[in-house]
A and B are shown apart, each in its own frame.
Chain A
Amino acid sequence: MIRAVIVMNTQGKPRLVKFYDFQPPEKQQELIRSVYGVLSERADNVSNFVEADAIFGPGTQLVYKHFATLYFVFVFDSAENELAMLDLIQVFVETLDRCFKNVCELDIVFNFNKMHMLLDEIIFGGQVLETSSEQVLKAVEEISKLEKSSSAISLVPKSVSARFGR
């Protein structure tokens, strides 16, 4: 099972945080800080896996990828294949890239709620739901379309609807 997905920038600011088993908010911040502490000390030419027993409990590992100013981190337990998790990050990032056309940190900051929408189409309750970015994008587009055409459109603040429209 995937325990958590964390996207943070290289300064340790969280940009997308999703825990699949409940953690109280203070604990979440603490975990994010410890993950950052581990990642920030790792060199570039080392493996993408870190044993996370000390942070998330026995048997857990984390896999991360570093893109420009962002770390993408998946935390998972022994029921997942490490290398597949690495690929899943790839799928996630590729999907973001297709969705935002050259995704950058700013896209993620301002669209965190679209990020959640995307993530929920890829990982569902800690399980892999869909690995085809095509399918994910299709689902997300349909949802956006529905939001736009919804009768409640007048109530959607411009900022939100504009972002969904992209």
Chain B
Amino acid sequence: MNPFSSGTRLRDMIRAIRACKTAAEERAVVRKECAAIRAAISENDQDYRHRNLAKLMFIHMLGYPTHFGQMECLKLIASAGFPEKRIGYLGLMLLLDERQEVLMLVTNSLKQDLNHSNQYIVGLALCALGNICSAEMARDLAPEVERLLQIRDPNIKKKAALCSIRIIRKVPDLAENFMGPASSSLKEKHHGVLIAGVQLCTDLCKASTDALEYLRKNCTEGLVRILRDVSNSPYAPEYDVAGITDPFLHIRVLRLMRMLGQGDADSSEYMNDILAQVATKTESNKNAGNAILYECVETIMGIEASSGLRVLAINILGRFLSNRDNNIRYVALHMLMKAVTVDFQAVQRHRTTILECVKDSDASIRKRALELVFLLVNDTNVKSLTKELIDYLEVSDQEFKGDLTAKICSIVEKFSQEKLWYIDQMFKVLSLAGNYVKDDVWHALIVMISNAPDLQGYSVRSLYKAFQTSNEQETLVRVTVWCIGEYGEMLVNNVGVLEMEEPMTVTESDAVDAVEVALKCNSSDITTRAMSLVALLKLSSRFPPTSERIREIVMQHKGNVELELQQRSIEFNSIIQRHRNIKSSLVERMPVLDESAFIGKRVGSSQATLSADKSSRPTSGSPGASLKLPNGVAKPPPAPLVDLLDLSSDDVPASTSSTTDFLHDLLGGDLMSPSSSAPSGGGAGTDILMDLLSIGSPSAPTDVSVPNIISSNQGNAGELETAPASVMDFLDGLPSNSSLPGDKDPIYPSITAFESSTLKISFSFTKQPGKPQDTVIQATFTNLSSNTYTDFIFQAAVPKFIQLHLDPASSSTLPASGNGTIMQTLSVTNSQQGQKPLAMRIRMVYRVNNEDKTEQGQINNFPPGL
């Protein structure tokens, strides 16, 4: 006898597992048990088979693999005894699923058991079939189930009815076979059978319109009678749930009525009376009663009910809303959400109650109520609703503020009729919950302010005031800092004062103080600080007397650990100190942001990552650009251009294909290092070029293309700044033109994929016609040092959606000083061609002077469309 199989009883195993103090102990116990069970299986142990399977089911519940027990289920099912069969079927339902081929083997046993003389064995087989039936099994076994559906025994009958549902779901064609038996099951007296029969009818209606018509014609009357009987019937203790007679049957019947009455005036008419009776007579002080009412309301909303009935229904929901039970309020909100489309006005009447639910202590209810309020907002009630929501924002739970803020912002944006109102509401939200405001929302606010010249003064003053009280709200700080930078003189000189404004006096140094606070505040992150620095730079030009003080503040960051801030600090210092003559033109107020382009972009790009810096630090780009761009190709003027470009940068990449060559000749390898780190997205904070130019766009081609266009426009740059619209047109026009040839026969420019002081790699591309996903890359390696490299190996890695094949290289020795090259062919297949650009990590290993060297890098500047 197997030394293990005498092992533990099920109960002992459970006890042993429960006694385990750690997960490791538990695993050890389970492992031991599984080993014993496996051994028993391989010995074909009969005696303990079903005990072993019972153990396996417990082990399965704990999440351990039990596939090795699957065949045991089949053996148990095939055995004669009832206990074996029962465990076998249970195992079948728990351990197997319809996708497994093992199921093929069980069909025959099922068929036998469905025809068994013992009704309990038939019951087991039906139950198993109802849980795991596959399409093939459904076809094979449908006749058996159909026959069982006509048997008198209620236990079998109800199971057969529900089993038919599974069969119909798997094979809708079989629906018509079940129409007759289903409709006759509605004449039964047994509640269980009725519930199952009604459910079967409902599913038949879903599966086939023929069945729907048939049942509508033959069963509407019967259903109404069932509902009348059950709602009028005296106390029936057996089916009673908390004093209500058989709520489940009520609900099932109401649901089927909804299917039948939908879009059919006659049957709806026929149901009116009974629905009204159920809606008025059902007791609403118990959960079960409310369940019926709830279902009844849904049915009234679903069918072509009379308008009086609809009012009754909405009023029931109104009553639900003021119920003290959380569950009732929850479902009422759910239903009102559906009812909004049916009867907007009726739901609108309950607005105040719904608004109260937004303030509920229960998160599920709050969330639903907020969604519902959002649906109820229209032009007439937007102001009062927004006011309520904003008032609540002040006192709401921290974890709810995010949702609430997002909804308020979208309401305000969607329904803003006046700019002043919009700006006011946004300022309130920013000062109450600025930390929860999404980037694109405050970007939109800035764009709006930029487009409202008569409100700029008001905006900057309001923000200044709000900032004094709540300077820990990140986005408020950012918008304030931006506005002070742009419109500082309006703050100080009280330009464009509106009637309702209280007069205030702000001196120049107060304004600088505010920005300094933002810069030094501990809660400010790097973006805010960087924005503050720019604002200071701008103020130094607006308020010349404060210039020296500003320089001192700026210089405090010259040793900042953040490279970004350090660089700005040093650069701005030099602008303030040494370049007075160009300073004022450098830090001019930025041109009006293009609202329509911004909105279009926001809608168009799902990610809506108008990065934090974009709209906020526009003209400041120029000094950074001139200092950063390595060979001085980009001169200061292009910065505003870049900024404008940026607004339409989604379109720009396509324009590069024809021009990149030129660019590379021009910028050569120097541009490589920044551009290879930036597009990955992680470089947002570190890549100064991107940041300063406000190009935040993650696509590599953009930053390649931008300087290029800039350089070709250099001569006109000054003019471009004053005529942004024409530039926009010009840029918008580009992609459509240049993308055309790309569709047919793309020619991709070569790129310099990698360049260090010692090694340069360039890639040229060819494509096979008709295979857009495949690209053949010819890699050329050039040695830039004065020593010969030996054992040169090039390795590359690509993301999952790309396949890469490397051919052998032409040589493994790379002569010094560019006196020869190694060529290697790479074939790549981009399975997401057109959606995702190519990207590659590369590593070069070689020996020089008997020393091993490794260089690596990342290539993100592949031409778009590969």
Interface residues of A (CB under 8 A from B): 14-18, 20, 22, 25-26, 28-29, 32, 42, 45-51, 81-84, 86-88, 90-91, 109-110, 112-113, 116-117, 120, 124-125, 127-132, 134-135, 139, 142-143, 146-147, 150-153, 155-160, 163
Contacts and interface: CB of A to CB of B under 8 A. Distances in A.
Contacts of A87: 241-242, 247-248, 287-288, 291
7 contacts: A14-B61, A28-B63, A51-B364, A83-B328, A91-B241, A124-B158, A125-B130
B181 interface: no
B338 to A, nearest CB: 10
A155 B83 contact: yes
B61 A17 contact: yes
Given A25-B60, A28-B63, A109-B14, A45 B361 contact: yes
B577 to A, nearest CB: 55
Nearest to B62: A14
A126 B158 CA distance: 14
Given A22-B98, A116-B90, A150-B81, A125 B241 contact: no
B364 A47 contact: yes
A158 B291 contact: no
B196 interface: yes
A101 B94 CA distance: 27
A67 B252 CA distance: 28
- Among A29, A32, A81, A116, chain B packs the most CB atoms within 10 A around the CB of A81
Interface stretch (B46-54, B530-538, B636-644): B46-54
Contact of B331 (A83, A124, A142, A156): A83
Interface stretch (B161-169, B216-224, B342-350, B769-777): B161-169
A31 to B, nearest CB: 11
Interface in B805-846: none
A32 B363 CA distance: 21
Contacts of A110: 11, 14
A109 B62 CA distance: 12
A15 B162 CA distance: 26
Contacts of B487: none
Contacts of B57: 112-113
Contacts of A109: 14, 18
Contacts, number: 189
Given A125-B130, A128-B248, A129-B158, 9 more contacts: A25-B63, A32-B63, A82-B294, A87-B288, A124-B127, A129-B196, A130-B192, A146-B120, A160-B54
A113 B99 CA distance: 24
A142 B153 CA distance: 14
A147 B83 contact: yes
B620 interface: no
A165 B621 CA distance: 83
A165 B326 CA distance: 41
A32 B63 CA distance: 10
Contact of A147 (B80, B86, B97, B242): B86
Given A22-B97, A131-B239, A159-B9, A125 B162 contact: yes
Contacts of B330: 47, 49, 82
A47 B120 contact: no
B90 A139 contact: no
Contacts of A146: 82, 118, 120
A82 B327 contact: yes
A83 B11 contact: no
Contacts of B86: 117, 143, 147
B131 interface: yes
A83 B291 contact: yes
B111 interface: no
B330 to A, nearest CB: 4
B331 A152 contact: no
B294 A152 contact: no
B227 interface: no
Nearest to A164: B83
A87 B239 CA distance: 12
A29 B62 CA distance: 8
B362 to A, nearest CB: 4
A3 to B, nearest CB: 13
B165 to A, nearest CB: 6
Contacts of A46: 326, 361-365
9 residue pairs, one from A and one from B, having the closest CB atoms: A152-B81, A83-B291, A125-B130, A47-B326, A22-B97, A29-B63, A46-B362, A159-B11, A159-B9
Nearest to A152: B81
B294 A134 contact: no
B155 interface: yes
Contacts of B195: 128-131
Contacts of A131: 191-192, 195, 239, 241, 246, 248
A147 B120 CA distance: 10
Nearest to A46: B362
B82 A152 contact: yes
A149 B334 CA distance: 51
Interface in B130-153: 130-132
B448 interface: no
A131 B242 CA distance: 12
Contacts of A48: 326-327
Contacts of B82: 146-147, 150, 152
Counting chain A CB atoms within 10 Å of each CB, the highest count among B132, B158, B241 belongs to: B241
B509 interface: no
Contact of A82 (B54, B331, B363): B331
A147 to B, nearest CB: 5
A142 B50 CA distance: 20
A30 B863 CA distance: 42
Nearest to A109: B14
B166 A125 contact: yes
Interface in B153-193: 155, 158-159, 162-163, 165-166, 191-192
B60 to A, nearest CB: 7
Nearest to B298: A81
A116 to B, nearest CB: 6
Given A22-B99, A47-B326, A49-B364, A157 B10 contact: yes
